[in-house]
Structure 1
């Protein structure tokens, strides 16, 4: 985890990480549009879904990297993030 934290903090890699995220979001948006019968040029829905999915994964990874040892398994964090997004981001229990 230390290596991943160091990599994510490296300014020289920030642009490449953002580029990879943008490519993944665009591909996911195209797949969502195809499966839902929506149009990327006229409907926001596919891009909103892709952006929400990207944000959910990013937040889960950040939470994983910031957590104490041993961290919660990343699979559980990603599942929890998607569950919360799917539920419409209900109010925090705290």
Structure 2
């Protein structure tokens, strides 16, 4: 039995009105700055083992990001291995676009 998942992935997409400007913010329109009260987030990142036990990703989580945008100033993402007891491992993301 494998102790942890080998691979997990997710993604997101921002679309704008075809008749409007070509700039679409994500979330509050701010790059991630650690403010969990104002920014988009994914919290309590866990996986489920074969025996249906929930496990925090903890040290096994190797976070990488890939983006199709033209600059790191358009959208950003920030991983926090452990934020607090309620949110646990978290990712915050967002940005103004360019």
More helix by share: 1
Q: Specify which structure has the higher proportion of strand.
A: 2
Shorter-chain TM-score: what band?
under 0.3
Relative to the length of structure 1, the TM-score reads 0.25
What is the TM-score when the length of structure 2 is the normalising length? Answer: 0.24
Which has the higher relative contact order, 1 or 2, with Cα contacts under 8 A spaced 6 or more apart? 2
